[in-house]
Amino acid sequence: MKSMHISTTINGDPVEFICDPGEPLLDVLRNRLGLTGAKEGCGTGDCGACSVTVNGRLVCSCLVLGAEVEGVEISTIEGMANDDQLHPLQRAFIDGAAFQCGVCTPGILVAAKALLEKNASPSDEEVRFWLAGNLCRCTGYDKIIAAVQVAAAEMRGA
Amino acid sequence: MVKVKLWGTLGQLADGQSEVEVDAKTFKEMLDRLTEMHPGLAPYIARGVSMALDGVIYRESWFQEIKPDSEVVLMPFMKGG
Amino acid sequence: MDTGQSKREFRYVGTRPNRPDGVDKVTGRAQYGADMTAPGMLTGAILRSPHAHARIISIDTTAAEAIAGVRAVITGKDFVRLDDEFTRDVQENCMAREAALYDGHAVAAVAATTPVIAKAALAAIKVEYETLPHVTDVDAAMKIDAPVVLAGRALETVPAGMSQNVTNACEFGHGDLDAGFAKADLVIERSFKTAATHQGYIEPHACLASVTTDGKADLWCCTQGQFFVRTLCSDIMGMEASQLRVTASEIGGGFGGKTTVFIEPVALALSRKSGRPVKIVMTRDEVFRATGPTVSSSMDIRIGMTKDGRITAGEATLRYSGGAYPCGTVEMGAQAAFAAYDLEAVRTYGLNALTNRPKEAAYRAPGAPQAIYAVESIVDELCQKLSLDPLAVRLQNAAKKGTLSSYGPTFNDIGLVATLEAATNHPHYNAPLGPNQGRGLSCGFWFNFGGNTCVSLNINTDGTVGVTEGNPDIGGSRASISLMAAEELGIPYESIRTIIADTNSLGYNDVTDGSRVTFSVGLATIKAARDAIGKMTSRAAQYWGIDADAVKWVDGSAVPAGSNAGKFPPLTLAEIAAMSPQTGGPIAGHHEVNVDGAGVSFGVHLVDVEVDPETGFTKVLRYTVFQDAGKAVQPDYVEGQMQGGAVQGIGWALNEEYIYGEDGRLQNPGFLDYRIPVSSDLPNIETVILEIPNPGHPYGVRGVGETPIVPPLAAIANAVSRATGVRLTELPMSPPRILKAMKG
């Protein structure tokens, strides 16, 4: 099959790439564009380590085809900090020791940001259910939930 | 002389004794004497054993000094995750 | 060792600074195993057996080799048969030679220019198998007429007349069991089973190998121990260690599962054959089918107790299976089973049997969770039947200093009693429970160890410090190491940067396992700092023109040791560093050691659950972990170990299991069907850190990483049993299993 040529926007930058018609967006990001922040933990949409947003909607990039993102706006972990300013979630995760190995962290941060954009004051239970699609094997989630709440409070105050 | 406790399985290989006496001042000397006196133990010792000396586990320290009144227990080589 | 320091006041140790790799990890910049690329890199892929047990008659690779873009194809024949049994098992687990021993066992591999071509090449390899009878259950494998997985692998201690699958046998204990049981008012004997579980790290194994035509090689991989990877791979590849440089990437979880190799020798062999760099990244399906898991177990336990709560005797027979290759993990289980108790009569027997399952890899306190689950279940049932308080009974029987342990040595200072007392005094223990709710508790134990460790500590001329160590940082250890260097040197944490060296930059370091890093690397860092301090004080002495031993180190500066030494203003580390070129050259401290004296670790977990009588579903309502950390260097990451270990144990207790079909194939090789705990399954995990200093470490540190996975299995089982009124004896306690038990 012939490769496809796609024009899209990633983290505000115009991007063009070619990909196989059956190639997941995750592979495009990681292998063709050098955006290795999204991780492949399963390739089947079960772990959330590859989370990105497409037109503001949280998706597993392993379940989206590169061919599907013509003309959309994609946000990845690489676009989360504003130049040299970390996002409040990123700071809260560092300050709160909300990760150990850190491999699930990019996906969890992208997912948590999407939550706070929909719901600025989630309860702990709402955070836990929103993040239920993001597996973490190191932390037991305790410090992750706490860090999301710290960031949410800061963002509400700002 | 030091008294060396052998764990159950190793006792079988040392003529059924759960404690043997050897003339040794270090971990290495103890292993050498045990191997000489109880050839049945040799393959186990060659694969690696640990020594608990007065409650502290030593995994490989040949030159660890053993005092005559020390409690010495031969143990499987420790591994972890 | 210098126990006098263990009660010292700390300035940096015990604080909670940010970790040095924090920003990299929240911005996606940290480079894990799969994130590295090399020019001209090929994609490696592995063909795996669809059979649980099969002889490999032939492998025809000609069609695969003919595909454009395929640059190398290898099979087991491309590896030399090794004499050393241990390494040969590792090699054959990476690539089968004569027979495939489990579903997912690697039989061939390709390197191609794209993933699509690599996949097509795998499909073009023709393997002719002769399928053989298989066995995946440990009890079935021990039957005398069971299919034999590997013949001739029994150790000397295995009694004659057993199935050829039995490879290991061991026995521990002391005292007169018959006399002990005769003293009991109640004796309970039960059998238990636990499923194999997977470590479940989120990052699949990945590596990038580059072998050049002059025999040099570089290997980048996610591992818990780059030096051990070098040892295994250089042995398997017939290379000299100096020619193989292994660099550990950031690691996306390990928990013991990344203490060996699976794909690394395959990538090296493909690279050698193709003359190009080769990257292999496992899929999740491959991770489940061909890496990890723990042993599966079947156990018989008998314990006697007097009506006032004294345990009179304990006996355990453990049957573990570590999969298709010999496995000594049962020895750890047999030693750990009764470690929490002060017993006059105790005996444990252990057997390991081969099954057609993947080769066991270590998982946090390997072997201990299963055995302690079974023992702690019976202790709880005895308490229930004798109407005794389960914490009081554990305190009454707790191992303490001077106790002859169930595995042989007499205990030194251990923190079990303090940990039990903390649990007794915690509000959780007396909080009210509602209907269908139960509270469970369990003790946990792990040995911990030290091991080979090297640290270099370089004093930069601007007064900052670089620490070079050799153990991959799984859970924030770089922060802990920097804290200990700061403490010893008396300079701010922020002035220190700790990095993890490749295998050519530092001497041998044992794997990041055995809860050893904060303990052993910390100890070596402190000693390396003292070495550097010695050099800095002698430079100051020379500068002042006084004797070196007339100078001491106080709060980051050299100062004259007393009024007789002379009156000189302090020379700070930065001042000494700045003039180092003029005073003799660069200043560095080193320490190389095989550390002992790790000190055992105990923990106690308390849990409340609610079991839905309609569905058998268990909800964890409240969870508290109590553990002795010796000294918590960076408490955030000590809590993190306690919380993460507890949650892995919760998964083991309630959900996680390897499920094999009649055909011997793994039925749930994915996160959808092998369900690890997700955030909505769980409450907060409360932590209580106790600090009973370990005399074997200058700051009193004990390893904390493994013990927390031990108690949850029994704690949850005891809570579920109390909530439902029936004793559960098999893990995981999935809803159907609980419903079945409740319906009798």
Q: Where are the domains of chain B?
A: 2-76
Q: C500: which 2 tokens?
A: 């993890």
Question: Which chains contact C through at least 3 pairs of Cβ atoms less than 8 Å apart?
Answer: A, B
Which residue matches tokens 């058998």?
C616
Closest by Cβ to B8, choosing from C171, C363, C410: C171
Chain B residues inside the 8 Å CB shell of C515: 80
Residue C330: pLDDT above 50?
Answer: yes
Q: How many angstroms separate the first and last alpha carbons of chain B?
A: 36
Helix (H, G, I), strand (E, B) or coil at C656: coil
Q: Quickly count: other Cβ atoms within 10 Å of residue C581's Cβ.
A: 10
**Contacting residues of A for C645, CB less than 8 Å apart:** 140
**Cα(C77)–Cα(A87) distance, integer angstroms:** 53
Q: What percent of chain C stands above pLDDT 70?
A: 99
**CB count in 10 Å sphere of residue C68:** 7
CATH architecture of B2-76: Roll (3.10)
Size of interface A-C (CB pairs under 8 A): 182
C318 - beta bridge partners?
Answer: C299, C350
Residues of C in contact with B12 (CB under 8 A): 157
Structure tokens, C354: 């081969």
- Could you give the CA distance from residue C618 to residue C612 in angstroms, rounded to a whole number? 6
Cβ–Cβ < 8 Å for C188, C382:
yes
Q: pLDDT (tens digit, 9 = 90+) per residue, A119-130?
A: 999 999 999 999
pLDDT of residue C321: 98
Contact C253, A103 (CB under 8 A): yes
Decide if pLDDT at B27 tops 90.
yes
Using an 8 Å Cβ cutoff, are C355 and C664 in contact?
Answer: no
Interface contact B58-C171, CB threshold 8 A: no
> C156 touching B, CB under 8 A?
yes
Nearest to residue B56, comparing CAs of C366, C595, C88? Answer: C595
Residue with tokens 């220190």, as numbered in its chain: C496
Dump pLDDT digits (tens) for A18-77. Answer: 999 999 999 999 999 999 999 999 999 999 999 999 999 999 999 999 999 999 999 999
Cβ atoms of C551 and C541 closer than 8 Å: yes
| Greatest CA separation for chain B | 36
What single letter denotes the amino acid at residue C461? Answer: T
The yes-or-no verdict on residue C481 having pLDDT over 70 is yes
Task: Decide if C409 contacts B57 (C-beta within 8 A).
Answer: yes
pLDDT at C150 over 80: yes
**Length of chain C as a residue count:** 744
Residues of B in Cβ contact (< 8 Å) with C598: 57
CA dihedral C265→C509→C482→A139, nearest 10 degrees, is 50
Find the mean pLDDT for residues C498-509. Answer: 98
Look at residue C7 and tell me whether its pLDDT is greater than 70: no
Mean pLDDT for chain C overall: 96
CA angle, corner C255, sides to C250 and C261, nearest 5? Answer: 70
Q: Is C146 exposed, middle or buried (0-12, 13-18, 19+ CB in 10 A)?
A: buried
Under CATH, to which class is A4-77 assigned?
Answer: alpha beta
Q: What is the mean pLDDT of residues C704-709?
A: 96
CA separation for the pair B54, B5 (Å, rounded): 12
The rounded distance, in Å, linking the Cα atoms of C487 and C491 is 7
Position C3 scores a pLDDT of 42
3-state DSSP call for residue C331?
A: helix
CB-CB contact of A111 with A48 (8 Å): yes
Q: Please state the domain extents for chain A.
A: 4-77, 88-156
* DSSP characters over C30-79: S-BGGG---TTPEEEEEEE-SSSSEEEEEEE-HHHHTSTTEEEEEEGGGS
Query: What are the structure tokens assigned to C710, written together?
Result: 């031990």
CB pairs under 8 A between B and C: 101
Give the whole-angstrom CA distance, residue C637 versus residue A142: 12
Q: What is the pLDDT at residue B80?
A: 66
The structure's pTM equals: 0.97
Instruction: Say how far apart CA C441 and CA C605 lie, in whole Å.
Output: 5
Q: Which pair of structure tokens corresponds to residue C135?
A: 């066995």
Instruction: Specify the 3-state DSSP secondary structure of A9.
Output: strand
Beta bridge partners of C604: C443, C626
The model's confidence at residue C187, banded by pLDDT at 50, 70 and 90, is very high
Residue of C nearest to A94 (CA): C22
Closest chain C C-alpha to B80 CA, distance in angstroms: 4
Is the predicted pLDDT of residue C4 greater than 70, yes or no? no
**What is the Cα–Cα distance from C544 to C365, expressed in whole angstroms?**
53
Chain CA centroid to CA C601, Å: 14
| Model confidence pLDDT, tens digit, residues C44-76 | 999 999 999 999 999 999 999 999 999 999 999
Checking if the pLDDT of B59 tops 90, the result is no
Specify the range with the lowest mean pLDDT, choosing from C1-10, C351-360, C720-729.
C1-10
**CB C113, CB C69: distance < 8 Å:** yes
SS (H, E, C) C216-252: CEEEEECCCCHHHHHHHHHHHHCCCHHHEEEEECECC
Instruction: Give dist(CA C470, CA C649) in Å, integer.
Output: 29
C123 in Cβ contact with C110 (< 8 Å): no
pLDDT band at B77 (very low <50, low <70, confident <90, very high): confident
Contact C447 B71 (CB under 8 A): no
SS3 C469: strand
Query: At CA C338, angle to CA C337 and CA C340, rounded to 5?
Result: 120
Q: What is the mean pLDDT of residues C104-118?
A: 97
| Cβ-nearest to A140 among C200, C250, C646 | C646
Rounded Cα distance, A15 and C52, in Å: 47
Question: What does the alpha-carbon distance between residue A5 and residue A16 come to, in Å, rounded to a whole number?
Answer: 7
> What was the pLDDT predicted at B81?
67
Cα–Cα–Cα angle for C499, C504, C505, nearest 5°? 35
Query: Residue C5: pLDDT above 50?
Result: no
CATH architecture of A88-156: Orthogonal Bundle (1.10)
Token code pair at residue C301: 């336990």
Distance from CA of C450 to the nearest CA of B (A): 9
Least CB-CB distance to B9: which of C157, C410, C412?
C157
CA angle C495, C501, C505 (to 5 degrees): 115
The whole-angstrom separation of Cα C388 and Cα C393 is 7
C253: left (phi over 0), alpha (psi -120 to 50) or beta: left
Exposure string of C638-667, with b = 16+ CB inside 10 Å and e = fewer, is bbbbbbbbbbbbbbbbbbbbbebeeebbbe
pLDDT, tens digit (0-9, with 9 covering 90-100), for C19-42: 999 999 999 999 999 999 999 999
Q: Is C176 left (phi over 0), alpha (psi -120 to 50) or beta?
A: beta
Which of B6, B9, B62 should one mutate to test binding to chain C, selecting the residue with the greatest count of C CBs within 10 A?
B9
Residue C215: both structure tokens together:
């025999």
Q: C27 vs A46: CB contact, 8 Å cut-off?
A: no
pLDDT category of residue A1 using cuts at 50, 70 and 90? low
* Residue C395, min C-alpha distance to chain A (Å): 28
